[in-house]
């Protein structure tokens, strides 16, 4: 893997995941081996600490990543969720323990030679996409494992996979990605991303490796950077931080935020 490609340096996707008032549900992230951190953002787990009295709705906000997901007690049913240009919501039973792997943008297709656009806005059976990874999960995981054992299994598998994978280290493409990540406000695709690739070729590469166009990916990155401000909605209004991020006005910001998060910014930031 070319060490010059370091998406993590520019981008750390946020998943608010669980409302802090959701009693009995916890979400945590575990860092992979340091040699994998330019490929995988984190391993994560979402689980109940007690049996819930009702169904739990898990909201996944748009983050530009591709995730593997399975329930620890039933690893045979594993799935992959592609790049999403809007939020997704999943109704869960009143007792669960989900495990996930969140790949940094473009890295899942690099590791497994999968066209990301075919997974865009979808959740697909992993067996149909990467059969040997699906088998590894099915045969290696169970609810008897603790967090460190889960991390060790994943680290071992992905270190081996990375050592056997040939990466397309097109500096022009990754220069375009870094421009989007670093300059997360509104970008002129043809002017600002002129890294030596034609607009048509750039679109093809973003769709293959990320799962959406550079513009769609940029919208998600801009939204994620708003989440990182950790401001109250009142502060966002006063400072007009959404204008600095490239939104035309407050109406544009609210509409785009709701599409990517699932609720309005006033509800999301003032909890």
In tens, the pLDDT along 35-62 reads: 999 999 999 999 999 999 999 999 999 9
Are the C-beta atoms of 66 and 108 separated by less than 8 Å? yes
pLDDT confidence of 156, banded at 50, 70, 90? very high
Averaged pLDDT for residues 92-103: 96
Share of the chain above pLDDT 90, in %: 67
pLDDT at 243: 85
Beta carbons within 8 Å of 220's beta carbon, 6+ residues apart: 62, 63, 64, 85, 212, 260
Beta carbons within 8 Å of 261's beta carbon, 6+ residues apart: 16, 59, 61, 62, 87, 223, 268
pLDDT at 4: 53
pLDDT confidence of 182, banded at 50, 70, 90? confident
- H helical segments located in the chain: 7-10, 107-112, 131-140, 147-164, 171-182, 189-192, 199-209, 214-228, 233-239, 241-244, 250-261, 265-269
Averaged pLDDT for residues 251-271: 89
**Which residue ranges form the domains of the chain, and what is each CATH number?**
7-164 (no CATH), 171-269 (1.10.10.60)
Q: What is the mean pLDDT of the chain?
A: 90
Averaged pLDDT for residues 111-139: 97
More confident residue, 235 or 147: 147
pLDDT at 96: 96
Tokens of 204: 């093809």
pLDDT at 1: 46
More confident residue, 184 or 99: 99
pLDDT at 109: 96
Instruction: Output b/e per residue, 238-254; b: 16+ Cβ within 10 A.
Output: eeebbeebbbeeeeebb
């Amino acid at each position: 893997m070319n060490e010059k490609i370091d998406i993590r340096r520019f981008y750390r996707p946020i998943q608010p995941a669980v409302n802090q008032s959701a009693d009995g549900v916890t979400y945590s992230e575990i860092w992979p081996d340091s040699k994998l951190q330019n490929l995988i953002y984190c391993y994560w787990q979402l689980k109940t600490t007690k049996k819930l009295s009702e169904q739990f709705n898990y909201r996944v906000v748009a983050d530009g990543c591709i995730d593997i997901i399975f329930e620890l007690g039933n690893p045979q049913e594993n799935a992959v969720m592609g790049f999403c240009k809007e939020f997704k919501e999943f109704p869960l039973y009143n007792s669960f323990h989900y495990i996930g792997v969140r790949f940094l943008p473009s890295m899942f297709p690099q590791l497994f030679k999968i066209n990301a656009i075919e997974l865009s806005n979808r959740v697909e059976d992993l067996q149909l996409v990467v059969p040997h990874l699906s088998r590894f999960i099915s045969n290696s995981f169970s609810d008897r494992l603790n967090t460190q054992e889960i991390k060790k299994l994943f680290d071992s598998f992905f270190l081996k996979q990375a050592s056997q994978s040939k990466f397309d280290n097109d500096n022009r493409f990754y220069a375009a990605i870094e421009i989007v990540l670093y300059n997360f406000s509104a970008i002129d695709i043809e002017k600002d991303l002129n890294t030596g690739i034609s607009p048509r070729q750039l679109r093809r590469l973003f769709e293959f490796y990320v799962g959406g166009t550079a513009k769609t990916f940029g919208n998600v990155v801009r939204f994620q950077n708003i989440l990182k401000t950790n401001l109250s909605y009142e502060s966002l209004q006063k400072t007009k931080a959404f204008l600095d991020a490239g939104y035309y006005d407050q109406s544009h910001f609210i509409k785009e935020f709701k599409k990517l998060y699932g609720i309005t910014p006033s509800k999301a930031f003032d909890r």
